[in-house]
């Protein structure tokens, strides 16, 4: 797990936050991306074998987005996202076994088999879930930012959303609330150009200049190359630093006319970050991808995020080809082991059906226990 | 405030007492909603609270129910104890995804990791000539959903006791209040049916630990001849009907369910077993309503104790009309309840 | 104009009747005197006869339904009237005239001015009079006037069913006053109180015993049915107010048995079979003509000596008819031949056990016979309770073969002979022991010399 206390980049010296990453940190980022890639390949295989059911959204191609942004966070900065969430779980440090077991609907899954592919939760790793209704997580992320500010903590909440969520009302309401209260939250647009099969230009006004979305709320805007994990990392290092410790102007009563919502610059406050990425696979496992050409996908694969980092590390002498192969082999093995773990785990038992409906249960409901990923030692309250 | 006849306490003040008392002992609690702060509450429920607790904890939200409803869910997941006020439950429909798709399912979807100890509260029900879209009653919509708890308090006593219980409860709690009842209690006993006199409607004074356990129905008036099962504002319609029926020699028992989730069917069934007759009253539309559910459960629990079918009294099955008198006609009013009781007890 | 037929009052104590069986169906043409239906009263099952001519237009009651006396149970179409029209005739379903109306709708003083106006819900006023009853609201089920079930199974509320079970009441005999004749709690409680719905006979027939097993005795309390109550009342009255005494006599039945065998052989071709009881009946009557004091009634200040002998015979009713017993009366027996007596008594017994006796067939007895002499019982002697206002009842045992002393060719010998015991229970206010003995002597003599019974 990469933790960093990155500070805003010193633009005048042209140095970037990634320059300060250690070799180990860089290798870890590479491995995390490889793990997501191999894990997702196994996920697709298991889905096609009908081991995994329901909707299943593959993260391949977008690895740099999760790994780069999460690497720029503190361990206890909360994140919440959408349904294409396996990559986030792994980038946040969830053991692949629990992630895969969840998709298998096994009791050993991160949500005991109650959530599935679209609902990866990990309380100890401050992952507040994948959420399946498009845009539904935006108010939740706003609530996380509100809570951080309420408790006067120095955390930042990251709220991930796809470009489809840009057109949901909840997104705009959330942006507005975050802006008026100056909440420590960053709305992370994972912009892979398609909401299902609809190109962003067909569904979203000002798709050619999404900064307009932030400007409407006087919110900081940033964008980055979502295929370059270091660019993602650098962008988030800066933005997180400028969001941390955001203060609510309305905690001072009475001087409403003086509230200034245009905070481009040094004032800590929320941000909207456009991560330009691309998914190689369809929207979900059942997507025939008639809406885009194979050539288009091929072009993006030329700029594969993993290859970009591998090339960078080899060129910079921070890793060898063999090391990279070794990392990849390890990622393959760990993914294979996750399949084995999931296969061998028991199903969610019948008696679990009525647990976790209520924390304070009544009638037919039963108090539930925590999933395997949270041990008694590291569980919270 | 103590009058010579006993306590005077408005329903809105009882709600405020509940929130204030709990906020004083639990720093995690905040109140968020439209006009709750500087305006002192659209219906003055939160009057004075901004002064005591400050703008950090009494948060004026813009008109963004999806936004602040969902914010409450996220904050509750984080560990805070939000009280989200909807000026009217009619306005919560735009936040449906947050309050019924996210809040009640979070604990389950996360395998027990993230609960949602949030309170959602506001005015519920027609009666003020507000037209159809502002006259929603939501108990039937929301009681359908597993994972949440839902109360419909009928008196200041219940309002305070249930809201305090709901705030302390670790599950999402929906408190359905009534604009038409907020002022009740201003004149003490005079505002209530004689069955509620002697301050039966008022919470005890100076008792910070007073709560009403969820899932405890309350017999608002004992009787032997017919059970009326109801909730919230219709409790007063039922008590009014009870007074009229008493003059005819029909002694009804009025059972206030207080909470639909959980539903205290034992108390309801116990009453029906004693009387042999049941009229279920709620201000929903008839189809798939909480009243239909209660009636069904009465059949399940008391089939051999029933001397007639269970009759239901609801809002008429129409959008709320604006016309003052026709709107009153639409409600499950005392006249309809009297007729139903006569009919069900074969006294029609 | 259609003709209605009401539930008749078929006994002095009858308040309601149960329609056991229709003897006609819609479309049948009936004439006055025709058998319309069998109706059970508190005492017995009676034939309901037509008093008008017409065509049956509508059977209002289901079989098994119980309604008060006076309620319309059948509609006849008169000549020239269509059955359909007649069937539409509005009938009063009001119960017997004397019966109270169900609780009336409350009188409403102030509220009646604006029956349509809903009370102001939020402001209860303790002194406000009850809202006026208005037209039924949509959500509530209107409760129509009491009437019989429309068809098929009994309509009954679950609670009423449970209560009826607890009280052991026959649902078919409870008058339902709920909607569509539904039996409701108050109907069951009334029936339980009035004893008007005795338990259905054979309702709980035991399954055939397949193999010896533990004998389980069911402990249960049943409501006393109407007939049982009548029997109980009358017999308690008799046993406690009539000073009983008994006199017994043993009768040599050899001659009668011999003659009866011979007669029956000859009469067989005519389908006639005289029973021992037929001879006893005639003997009881003829003896009474010689001892009229036996054929009398204590009337308090007077003793009435009857001018004819109407012999009552106690007939036990089969279980499927609810058990109990009735007294069937054969009139003017002293003037009737053996053949007449035989056929009449047979008919009475058949009627009693079948559709039921008419009031006429049950009234005006002057002396009674109780015969337990059926071979299956093996009863040799018993005492009966006087059947007021009769002064005497003759209890007859079986004519059994036993060793008896007979004069055989002038010599006393113990031989096998038929002997029958008869015991007269008398009302000592009317009859003395000697009178009873004299009567029994005559009675014995008539039976021992049976040829006298034939003339």
Give the pLDDT confidence score for residue C11 in this predicted structure: 65
If phi > 0 it is left, if psi is from -120 to 50 it is alpha, else beta; for residue C48 that is: beta
- What's the per-residue H, E or C state across A37-97? HHHHHHHHHHHHCCCCCCCCCCCCCCHHHHHHHHHCCCCCCCEEECCCCHHHHHHCCCCHH
Give the closest residue to B250 by CA, choosing from B268, B238, B264: B238
Record the tokens describing residue C97, joined without a space: 């005239």
Collapsing DSSP states into helix, strand and coil, what is residue C264? Answer: helix
Give the pLDDT confidence score for residue A375 in this predicted structure: 62
B17-26, B75-84, C192-201: the lowest-pLDDT one: C192-201
**C-alpha–C-alpha distance, residues A120 and B86, integer Å:** 30
Give the pLDDT confidence score for residue A144 in this predicted structure: 98
Give the closest residue to B109 by CA, choosing from A362, A195, A76, A368: A368
Measured between CB atoms, does B342 come within 8 Å of chain C?
yes
Inter-chain CB proximity B97 and A133 less than 8 Å? yes
Inter-chain CB proximity B147 and A358 less than 8 Å? yes
Give the pLDDT confidence score for residue C96 in this predicted structure: 41
**Which chain A residue lies closest to B173 (C-alpha atoms)?**
A358
Is B287 a member of any domain? Answer: yes
Is B210 a member of any domain? Answer: no
Chain segment A215-232, per-residue pLDDT in tens: 999 999 999 999 999 999
Neighbours of B251 (CB within 10 A): 15
Residue A230 burial (10 A CB sphere; 0-12, 13-18, 19+):
buried
Chain A: partners with 3+ C-beta pairs within 8 Å = B
Is B282 a member of any domain? Answer: yes
Averaged confidence pLDDT in chain A: 91
Interface of C with B (CB under 8 A): 102-103, 105-106, 117-122, 124, 126, 128-131, 133-134, 136-143, 157-162, 177-178, 184-186
Chain segment A244-284, per-residue pLDDT in tens: 999 998 998 887 887 777 655 446 899 999 999 999 998 88
Residue C136 has pLDDT above 80, yes or no: no
User: Looking at the structure, do residues B116 and B255 belong to the same domain, yes or no?
Assistant: no
Q: How far apart are the first and last CA of chain C?
A: 55
Give the pLDDT confidence score for residue C413 in this predicted structure: 86
A7 or C260, which is more confident? Answer: C260
Give the pLDDT confidence score for residue C35 in this predicted structure: 82
How close A136 gets to chain B, by Cα (Å)?
7
Chains C and A touch (3+ CB pairs under 8 A): no
Average pLDDT over residues A299-303: 92
Average pLDDT over residues C249-263: 89
A119 or B206, which is more confident? Answer: A119
Give the pLDDT confidence score for residue C267 in this predicted structure: 81
Query: Structural domains in chain C?
Result: 3-87 (2.40.50.100), 243-454 (3.30.559.10)
Q: Which of A24-38, A285-299, C179-193 has the highest mean pLDDT?
A: A24-38
Measured between CB atoms, does A359 come within 8 Å of chain B?
yes
Q: Which of B65, B139, B177, B327 is catalytic?
A: B65
Cβ atoms of residues C379 and C62 within 8 Å:
no
Catalytic-residue membership of B34: no
Record the tokens describing residue C265, joined without a space: 């052989």
CATH of A18-248+260-346 among 3.60.9.10, 2.30.30.60, 3.40.50.970, 3.30.2000.20: 3.40.50.970
Measured between CB atoms, does A246 come within 8 Å of chain B?
no
Domain ranges across chain A: 18-248+260-346
Average pLDDT over residues A278-304: 90
Average pLDDT over residues C424-429: 93
**How much of chain C, in percent, has pLDDT values that exceed 90?**
25
The number of C-alpha atoms within 13 Å of C52 and in the hemisphere containing its C-beta is 15
Residue B114 has pLDDT above 90, yes or no: yes
Give the closest residue to A131 by CA, choosing from A162, A107, A169: A162
Residue C245 has pLDDT above 90, yes or no: yes
Measured between CB atoms, does B282 come within 8 Å of chain C?
no
Give the pLDDT confidence score for residue C216 in this predicted structure: 67
Residue C123: band (very low, low, confident or very high) from pLDDT cuts 50, 70, 90: very low
- Please list the alpha-helical segments (H only) found in chain A: 23-48, 63-71, 86-91, 96-103, 137-150, 169-181, 200-203, 211-215, 229-243, 294-302, 305-315, 321-344
User: Looking at the structure, do residues B87 and B223 belong to the same domain, yes or no?
Assistant: no
Write the CATH number for B319.
3.40.50.920
User: Looking at the structure, do residues B126 and B230 belong to the same domain, yes or no?
Assistant: no
Query: Residue with structure tokens 């990923």?
Result: A373
User: Looking at the structure, do residues B84 and B158 belong to the same domain, yes or no?
Assistant: yes
Chains B and C touch (3+ CB pairs under 8 A): yes
Residue B127 has pLDDT above 90, yes or no: no
Residue C142 has pLDDT above 50, yes or no: no
Residue C361: band (very low, low, confident or very high) from pLDDT cuts 50, 70, 90: confident
User: Looking at the structure, do residues B173 and B254 belong to the same domain, yes or no?
Assistant: no
B98-107, C202-211, C360-369, C379-388: the lowest-pLDDT one: C202-211
Chain segment C32-86, per-residue pLDDT in tens: 777 888 888 776 777 777 777 788 888 888 888 888 878 888 888 887 788 888 7
Chain segment A29-84, per-residue pLDDT in tens: 999 999 999 999 999 999 988 999 999 999 999 999 999 999 999 999 999 999 99
Cα–chain center distance at B127: 15
**How much of chain C, in percent, has pLDDT values that exceed 70?**
80
Pairing of strands C244-252, C411-427: antiparallel
Chain segment B24-83, per-residue pLDDT in tens: 999 999 999 999 999 999 999 999 999 999 999 999 999 999 999 999 999 999 999 999
Measured between CB atoms, does B323 come within 8 Å of chain C?
no
**C-alpha–C-alpha distance, residues C130 and B247, integer Å:** 7
Is B44 a member of any domain? Answer: yes
Chain C residues with beta carbon closer than 8 angstroms to that of B318: none
User: Looking at the structure, do residues B145 and B50 belong to the same domain, yes or no?
Assistant: yes
Residue C224: band (very low, low, confident or very high) from pLDDT cuts 50, 70, 90: confident
Chain B residues with beta carbon closer than 8 angstroms to that of C161: 304
Residue C10: band (very low, low, confident or very high) from pLDDT cuts 50, 70, 90: low
ipTM of the complex: 0.94
Record the tokens describing residue B55, joined without a space: 């703008």
Q: What is the DSSP letter of A12?
A: G
Measured between CB atoms, does B287 come within 8 Å of chain C?
no
**C-alpha–C-alpha distance, residues B95 and B72, integer Å:** 11
Q: Which of B20, B35, B134, B197 is catalytic?
A: B134
How close C159 gets to chain B, by Cα (Å)?
4
Averaged confidence pLDDT in chain B: 95
Q: Which of C167, C244, C418, C428 is catalytic?
A: C428
| Chain B contact probe: residue of C115, C131, C163 with most B CBs at under 10 A | C131
Q: What is the DSSP letter of A136?
A: T
Give the pLDDT confidence score for residue A259 in this predicted structure: 75
Cβ atoms of residues A227 and A299 within 8 Å:
no
Q: Which of B160, B181, B202 is the last residue of a domain?
A: B181
In the beta sheet, which residues pair with residue C421? C250
Write the CATH number for B103.
3.40.50.970
**C-alpha–C-alpha distance, residues B67 and A159, integer Å:** 14
Residue numbers of the domain that contains B315? 215-344
User: Looking at the structure, do residues B61 and B112 belong to the same domain, yes or no?
Assistant: yes
**How much of chain A, in percent, has pLDDT values that exceed 70?**
93
Is B204 a member of any domain? Answer: no
Q: Which residues contact B270 (CB under 8 A, 6 or more apart)?
A: none
Averaged confidence pLDDT in chain C: 79
How close A172 gets to chain B, by Cα (Å)?
8
User: Looking at the structure, do residues B16 and B151 belong to the same domain, yes or no?
Assistant: yes
Is B196 a member of any domain? Answer: no
Give the pLDDT confidence score for residue B146 in this predicted structure: 98
User: DSSP states of B219-286 as a string?
Assistant: EEE--SSEEEEE-TTHHHHHHHHHHHHHHTT--EEEEE--EEETT-HHHHHHHHHHHS-EEEE-SS-S
Is B223 a member of any domain? Answer: yes
Residue C454: band (very low, low, confident or very high) from pLDDT cuts 50, 70, 90: confident
Chain C residues with beta carbon closer than 8 angstroms to that of B192: 124
Chain C residues with beta carbon closer than 8 angstroms to that of B336: 118, 137, 139-140
A372 or B55, which is more confident? Answer: B55
Chain B residues with beta carbon closer than 8 angstroms to that of C190: none
The number of domains in chain B is 2
A158 or C144, which is more confident? Answer: A158
Give the pLDDT confidence score for residue B54 in this predicted structure: 97
| Chain A contact probe: residue of B74, B166, B293 with most A CBs at under 10 A | B74
Is B207 a member of any domain? Answer: no
């Amino acid at each position: 797990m990469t933790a960093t206390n990155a500070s805003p980049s010193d633009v005048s010296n042209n140095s970037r936050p990634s320059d300060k990453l250690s070799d180990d940190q860089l290798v870890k980022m590479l491995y995390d991306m490889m793990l997501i890639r191999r894990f997702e390949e196994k996920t697709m295989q298991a889905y096609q074998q009908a081991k995994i059911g329901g909707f299943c959204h593959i993260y391949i191609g977008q690895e740099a987005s999760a790994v780069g942004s999460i690497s720029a966070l503190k361990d206890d900065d909360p994140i919440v996202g959408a349904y294409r969430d396996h990559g986030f779980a792994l980038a946040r440090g969830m053991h692949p076994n629990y992630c895969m077991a969840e998709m298998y609907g096994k009791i050993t899954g991160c949500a005991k088999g109650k959530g599935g592919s679209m609902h990866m939760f990990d309380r100890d790793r401050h992952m507040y879930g994948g959420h399946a209704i498009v845009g539904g997580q935006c108010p939740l992320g706003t609530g996380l930012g509100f809570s951080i500010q309420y408790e006067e903590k120095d955390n930042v909440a990251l709220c991930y959303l796809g470009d489809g969520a840009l057109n949901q009302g909840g997104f705009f309401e959330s942006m507005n609330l975050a802006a008026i209260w100056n909440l420590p939250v960053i709305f992370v647009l994972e912009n892979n150009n398609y909401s299902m099969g609809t190109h962003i230009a067909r569904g979203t006004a000002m798709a050619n200049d999404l900064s307009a979305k932030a400007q409407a709320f006087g919110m900081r805007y940033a964008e980055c190359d979502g295929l370059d994990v270091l660019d993602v990392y650098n962008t988030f290092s800066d933005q997180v630093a400028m969001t941390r410790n955001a203060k609510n102007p309305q905690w001072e009563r009475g001087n409403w006319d003086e509230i200034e919502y245009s905070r481009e610059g040094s004032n800590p406050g929320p941000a909207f970050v456009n991560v330009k990425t691309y998914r190689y696979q369809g929207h979900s496992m059942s997507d025939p991808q008639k809406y885009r050409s194979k050539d288009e996908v091929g072009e993006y694969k030329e700029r594969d995020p993993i290859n970009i980092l591998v090339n960078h590390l080899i060129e910079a002498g921070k890793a060898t080809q063999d090391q990279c192969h070794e990392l990849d082999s390890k990622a393959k093995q760990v993914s294979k082991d996750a399949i084995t773990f999931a296969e061998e785990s028991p199903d969610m038992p019948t008696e679990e059906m009525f647990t976790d409906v209520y924390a304070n249960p009544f009638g037919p409901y039963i108090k539930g226990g925590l999933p395997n990923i949270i041990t008694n030692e590291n569980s919270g309250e | 405030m103590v009058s010579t006849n006993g306590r005077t306490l408005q329903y809105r003040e009882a709600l405020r007492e509940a929130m204030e008392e709990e906020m004083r002992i639990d720093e995690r609690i905040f109140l968020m909603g439209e006009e709750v702060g500087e305006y002192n509450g659209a219906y003055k429920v939160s009057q004075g609270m901004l002064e005591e607790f400050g703008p950090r904890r009494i948060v004026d939200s813009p008109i963004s129910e999806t936004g602040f409803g969902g914010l409450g869910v996220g904050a509750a997941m984080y560990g805070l104890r939000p009280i989200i006020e909807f000026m009217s439950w009619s306005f919560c429909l735009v936040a449906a995804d947050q309050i019924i798709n996210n809040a009640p399912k979070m604990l389950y979807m996360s395998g027990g990791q993230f609960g949602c100890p949030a309170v959602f509260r506001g005015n519920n029900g027609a009666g003020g000539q507000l037209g159809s879209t502002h006259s929603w009653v939501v108990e039937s919509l929301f009681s359908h959903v597993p994972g949440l708890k839902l109360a419909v308090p009928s008196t200041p006593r219940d309002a305070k006791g249930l809201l305090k219980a709901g705030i302390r409860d670790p599950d999402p709690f929906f408190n359905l209040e009534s604009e038409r009842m907020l002022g009740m209690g201003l004149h003490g006993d005079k505002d209530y049916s004689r069955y509620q006199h002697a301050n039966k409607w008022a919470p005890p004074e100076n008792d910070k630990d007073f709560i009403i356990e969820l899932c405890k129905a309350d017999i608002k008036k004992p009787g032997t001849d017919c059970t009326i099962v109801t909730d919230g504002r219709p409790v007063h319609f039922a008590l009014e009907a009870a007074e009229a029926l008493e003059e005819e020699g029909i002694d009804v028992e009025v059972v206030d369910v207080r909470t639909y989730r959980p539903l205290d069917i034992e108390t309801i069934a116990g009453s029906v077993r004693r009387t042999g007759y049941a009229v279920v009253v709620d201000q929903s539309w008839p189809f798939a309503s909480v009243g239909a559910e209660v009636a069904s459960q009465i059949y399940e629990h008391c089939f051999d104790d029933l001397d007639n079918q269970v009759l239901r009294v609801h809002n008429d099955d129409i959008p709320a009309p604006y016309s003052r008198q026709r709107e009153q006609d639409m409600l499950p009013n005392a006249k309809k309840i009297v007729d139903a009781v006569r009919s069900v007890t074969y006294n029609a | 104009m259609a003709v209605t037929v009401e539930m008749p009052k078929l006994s002095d104590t009858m308040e309601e009747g149960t329609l056991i069986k229709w003897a006609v169906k819609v479309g049948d043409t009936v004439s006055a005197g025709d058998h319309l239906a069998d109706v059970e009263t508190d005492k017995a099952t009676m034939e309901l006869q037509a008093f008008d001519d017409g065509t049956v237009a509508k059977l209002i009651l289901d079989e098994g339904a119980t309604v008060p006396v006076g309620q319309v149970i059948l509609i006849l179409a008169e000549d020239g009237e269509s059955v359909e029209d007649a069937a539409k005739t509005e009938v009063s379903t009001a119960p017997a005239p004397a019966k109270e109306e169900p609780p009336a709708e409350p009188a409403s003083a102030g509220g009646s001015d604006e029956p349509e106006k809903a009370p102001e819900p939020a402001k209860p006023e303790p002194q406000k009079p009850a809202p006026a009853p208005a037209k039924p609201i949509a959500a509530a089920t209107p409760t129509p006037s009491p009437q019989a079930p429309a068809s098929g199974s009994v309509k009954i509320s679950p609670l009423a069913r449970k209560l009826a079970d607890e009280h052991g009441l026959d649902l078919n005999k409870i008058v339902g006053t709920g909607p569509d004749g539904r039996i409701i709690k108050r109907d069951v409680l009334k029936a339980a109180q009035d004893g008007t719905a005795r338990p259905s006979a054979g309702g709980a027939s035991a399954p055939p015993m397949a193999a010896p097993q533990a004998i389980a005795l069911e402990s249960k309390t049943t409501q006393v049915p109407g007939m049982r109550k009548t029997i109980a009342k009358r017999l308690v009255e008799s046993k406690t107010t009539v000073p009983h005494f008994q006199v017994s006599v043993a009768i040599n039945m050899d001659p009668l048995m011999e003659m009866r065998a011979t007669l029956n052989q000859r009469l067989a071709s005519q389908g006639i079979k005289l029973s021992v009881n037929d001879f006893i009946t005639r003997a009881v009557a003829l003896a009474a003509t010689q001892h009229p004091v036996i054929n009398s009634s204590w009337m308090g200040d007077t003793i009435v000596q009857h001018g004819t002998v109407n012999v009552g015979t106690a007939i036990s009713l089969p279980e499927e008819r609810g058990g109990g017993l009735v007294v069937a009366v054969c009139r003017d027996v002293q003037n009737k031949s053996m053949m007449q007596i035989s056929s009449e008594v047979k008919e009475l017994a058949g009627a009693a056990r079948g559709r039921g006796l008419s009031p006429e067939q049950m009234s005006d007895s002057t002396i009674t016979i109780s015969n337990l002499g059926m071979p299956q019982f093996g009863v040799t002697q018993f005492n009966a309770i006087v059947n007021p206002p009769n002064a005497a009842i003759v209890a007859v045992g079986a004519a059994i073969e036993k060793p008896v002393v007979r004069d055989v060719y002038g010599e006393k010998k113990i031989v096998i002979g038929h002997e029958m015991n008869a015991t007269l229970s008398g009302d000592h206010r009317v009859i003395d022991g000697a009178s009873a003995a004299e009567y029994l002597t005559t009675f014995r003599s008539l039976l021992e010399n049976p040829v006298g019974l034939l003339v």
